[in-house]
Amino acid sequence: MKLLPVAPLLLLVLTTLEARPKPAALKCRTGPLDIVFVIDSSRSVRPFEFETMRRFMIDIIGNLDVGPNATRVGVIQYSSQVQNIFSLKTFFTREDMEKAINSIVPLAQGTMTGLAIQYTMNVAFTVQEGARPPHKKIPRIAIVVTDGRPQDRVTEVATQARDAGIEIYAVGIQRADMTSLRAMASPPLEEHVFLVESFELIRQFGKQFQDKLCGVDMCVERDHGCQHSCVSTPGSFYCECNPGYQLNADRKTCSPIDACADGRHGCEHQCVSARGSYSCRCRAGYYLNQDKRTCSMIDYCSFGNHSCQHECVSIPSGHRCRCHRGFTLQPDGSSCRATDLCNGVDHGCKFKCVTSEGSYHCVCPEGQQLQADGKGCSRCGAGHVDLVMVIDGSKSVRPQNFELVKQFVNRIVDLLEVSPQGTRVGLVQYSSRVRTEFPLNKYHSADEIKEAVMKVEYMEKGTMTGLALKHMVEHSFSELEGARPLSHNVPRIGLVFTDGRSQDDISEWARRAKESGIVMFAVGVGKAVEEELRAIASEPVEQHFSYSADFTTMTHLVENFKLNICPEEGRGETEIRSPCECEALVQFQTNTVAILQSLTERNILWVLRGRTGAQSSPQLWGAASKLLPGEAQGLAAGMGGGDG
């Protein structure tokens, strides 16, 4: 900040300083200033001398144009410490300032002038204490009045204060040290350093000092053109706008401040600007919440006049009716009619409900029969398997959908005849890592398995399907975890469930799984990649992979497994029939008698001798095919059906 440009108006010699008459066309009036009086109240200042200093300040203030947009005044006193009497933002009338000055109680201690200047720079002239911001270009003036030599260093701190834009006037009285006065004052020193011989002359000096702060009121003397208000500065002026308005580019006219334009209003819907302020407004169908920022939709359904048969849904324009799943909204917009009875009633079907005209019925998967109650299905009792289900627990599945996956697993368990000697079930969950929830030999009944499935906790991380396949091949189908030896001829089935693209390679371990004899099924939901599903699935691929676009509709995939997951050929070691069983002997005898009768009737004993080269009778082998596999082989050997 530059020094106060009124300095050229100062008289060169204080003793001859007199108020000069001004041209009649000019009015002596101070422009806006920020003035801080720094008053010495050390013990060397006697009481009557301090009273003279009070009058010095009051006389100067009395001729200033004080106010929030004009000159602001602050007062501090110092001795060994600094005391703020009032700051630049405290008072804006001469009466209040005079009353505060008359109430000052002197400190009567040492003379720390450097400390006082430091306080003036760091505190008194801050925006927080009422000083106008630097860009306003309001002169900052400090008037230091002292009667003695400082007890601390003033040169360095005074230089810092001047560099910060503070114009310092140093006024010494009687015993004041001229060297110290010159060290603290602003240049030119002849215009900023004054030595008054006695306290009696300080008031007379004050009246003359006023002329240094006097300038022409440019707002009065010129046609300023300001739309709202004009602020005079020494030798110039500038325009200001009323609160809520901003100065236009022409620096004269004003426009309302658009408080919504900066985007910081926080209104959820609409911001309405009004003279520097703003208010929030909601769109039609919404009301403003108590925070005056956010909006909530009006709940028209709560009015109780909607007449909807099933559900009422509020919308911004009012409300609409909605029917439960399986029902269709009728033309009247209120009533509902069932379109899919399976979705509209508690059908209780164990496997699947099929809607027919005005009714419904339950069906079972291929290879199973509907039970007498018309709802349940016979379980997969024709064969036993070792089944390991590998389910996706990645973050993309989401907790609510993971619960649906567990229900899907239990629907499959419902198809199985679970027992230690029958079907065994294991469960593996994977995300960024793999975790065996329970191995094949952990539970021995469907109810135990279903209960354990519902207790499985969701992992919620990445999708490492390849790592899960590796874990399944190396661990899940090991005898240590309950898989039966390959020599027992129990089919091994792996079912992999996923909802997205794997983050690692699956091809190697998908191939190893199938090469190790595991029949692989792949189930995909949502964003699952068909190419990966096909790579996992066994041949024929179309029978071993399934896809559903939505978790809520994937239960129909259970039907796709049908007898593939319950193969009739899958017999455990306990399923091989003994030829000594009574039922087997009776069947053997019956079939044997039938064959002998056929041989007698056809007279084909000649064929049995096997020496004529004649071909065997089709009727013979047709009858023999009715025997059990082991019985047919024994009969053929006994009849010489080989090379003999």
pLDDT digits (tens, 9 = 90+) for 377-414: 766 554 578 999 999 999 988 999 899 899 889 988 88
Q: Which two tokens stand for residue 36?
A: 């801080």
- β-pairing, 193-196 vs 286-288, is unpaired
Q: Please write the tens of the pLDDT for every residue from 333-366.
A: 898 878 777 776 778 888 888 877 567 888 877 6
Q: How far apart are the first and last CA of the chain?
A: 127
Displacement of CA 572 from its chain's centroid (Å) = 54
Q: Is the pLDDT of residue 306 over 60?
A: yes
What pLDDT does 8 receive? 36
What DSSP element (H or E) covers 34? strand 34-40
Residue with tokens 């969701």: 458
% of the chain exceeding 70 in pLDDT: 74
For residues 85 and 77, give the distance between their C-alpha atoms in angstroms, rounded to a whole number.
7
Per-residue confidence (pLDDT) for residue 222, from 0 to 100: 74
Q: Is the pLDDT of residue 17 over 50?
A: no
Q: What is the pLDDT of residue 460?
A: 86
CB neighbour class for 432 (10 Å; exposed up to 12, middle 13-18, buried from 19):
middle
- The CATH T-level fold of domain 342-380 is Laminin (2.10.25)
E strand residue ranges, 350-453: 352-356, 359-363, 386-392, 424-430, 434-438
Q: Quick check: 576 pLDDT over 60?
A: no
List pLDDT tens digits, range 206-250.
Answer: 655 665 566 556 777 778 899 999 887 655 678 999 888 889 999
List C-alpha distances in Å: 558 to 260, 374, 446, 468, 482.
Answer: 57, 19, 16, 22, 25
- pLDDT band of residue 617 (cuts 50, 70, 90) is very low
Tell me the pLDDT of the chain averaged across its residues. Answer: 79
Confidence of residue 203 (pLDDT cuts 50, 70, 90): low
Structure-model confidence comparison of residues 112 and 569, the more confident one: 112
10 Å CB burial of residue 444 (0-12, 13-18, 19+) is middle
The structure tokens listed for 132 are: 């106008």
Does position 204 have pLDDT exceeding 70, yes or no? no
Q: Give me the phi and psi of 633, to 5 degrees please.
A: -65, -40
| Confidence band, pLDDT 50/70/90 cuts, at residue 528 | confident
The helix or strand, by DSSP H or E, that contains position 623, with its residue range, turns out to be helix 618-624
Gap between the Cα atoms of 230 and 543, Å rounded: 89
CATH class of this structure's domain 308-339: mainly beta
pLDDT digits over 254-264, tens only?
988 888 887 77
In angstroms, the CA 388 to CA 390 distance is 6
| pLDDT of residue 16 exceeding 50 | no
Say if strands 545-548 and 424-430 run parallel, antiparallel, or are unpaired.
unpaired
**Range among 22-26, 301-305, 550-554, 572-576 rated most confident:** 301-305
More confident site: 525 or 84: 84
Tokens standing for 388?
A: 């390991």
Question: Average pLDDT, stretch 23-40?
Answer: 68
Topology, domain 386-565:
Rossmann fold (3.40.50)
Q: Is the pLDDT of residue 315 over 60?
A: yes
pLDDT value at residue 581? 45
Burial of 58 (0-12, 13-18, 19+ CB in 10 A): middle
C-alpha dist (Å) from residue 231 to 65, 221, 226, 501: 12, 12, 9, 70
pLDDT at 285: 87
Helix (H) / strand (E) element for 37: namely: strand 34-40
Answer yes or no: is pLDDT of 475 > 60: yes
Per residue, what are the HEC states of 590-622? HHHHHHHHHHHHHCCHHHHHCCCCCCCCHHHHH
pLDDT tens per residue across span 410-432: 988 888 888 888 899 999 999 99
- The backbone torsions φ and ψ at residue 313, rounded to the nearest 5 degrees and listed phi first, read -120, 120
277 vs 330: which has the higher pLDDT: 330
Q: Where are the domains of the chain?
A: 34-212, 308-339, 342-380, 386-565
* Burial readout 254-277 (b: 16 or more C-beta within 10 A, e: otherwise): beebebbeeeebebbeebebeeee
CA–CA distance, 188 with 142 (Å, rounded to integer): 15
Q: Given this chain, do its domains 308-339 and 342-380 carry the same CATH topology?
A: yes
Residue-level pLDDT at 454: 94
Would you call 97 helix, strand, or coil by DSSP? Answer: helix
Alpha carbon 386 to its chain centroid, in Å, reads 45
Question: How many Å separate Cα 167 from the centre of its chain?
Answer: 53
What DSSP assignment string belongs to 309-368?
A: SSEEEEETTEEEEEPPTTEEE-TTSS-EEES-HHHHS----SSEEEEETTEEEEE--TT-
Cβ distance 254 to 241 under 8 Å? yes
Architecture of the domain spanning 34-212: 3-Layer(aba) Sandwich (3.40)
Residue 116 pLDDT: 95
What's the pLDDT band for 465 if we cut at 50, 70, 90? very high
What is the mean predicted confidence (pLDDT) over 316-320? 86
pTM: 0.35
Strands 254-256 and 270-274, sheet pairing: unpaired
Q: At 604, is the pLDDT very low, low, confident or very high (cuts 50, 70, 90)?
A: very low
Give residue 323's Cα distance to chain centre. 34
Query: Between the CA of residue 14 and those of 9, 22, 33, 50, 385, what are the distances in Å?
Result: 13, 19, 23, 22, 117
Query: What is the C-alpha to C-alpha distance for residues 205 and 622, in angstroms, rounded to an integer?
Result: 143
Question: Which H or E run contains 56?
Answer: helix 47-62
Q: What is the pLDDT of residues 125-155, one digit of tens each?
A: 999 999 999 988 889 999 999 988 899 999 9
Question: What pLDDT was estimated at residue 393?
Answer: 92
Q: Is 201 helix (H, G, I), strand (E, B) or coil?
A: helix
Kindly report, residue by residue over 102-117, the tens digit of the pLDDT.
999 999 999 999 999 9
Tokens found for residue 62: 């009395």
**pLDDT (0 to 100) of residue 317:** 83
Report the residue count for the chain: 644
- Identify which has the larger pLDDT, 527 or 471: 471
pLDDT digit string, tens, across residues 629-639: 444 444 444 44
Q: What is the DSSP string of 159-199?
A: HHHHHTTEEEEEEEETT--HHHHHHHSPSSHHHHEEEES-G
Is the pLDDT confidence value at 60 over 90? Answer: no
Does residue 7 carry a pLDDT above 50?
A: no
Instruction: Say what the pLDDT of residue 626 is.
Output: 42
Residues 169-189: tens digit of each pLDDT: 998 887 788 999 999 999 888
The reported pLDDT for the residue numbered 625 is: 42
Q: Is the pLDDT of residue 594 over 70?
A: no
Q: Is residue 613 over pLDDT 60?
A: no
Structure-block tokens of residue 200: 């009696």
- The pair phi, psi for residue 507, each rounded to 5°, is -60, -45
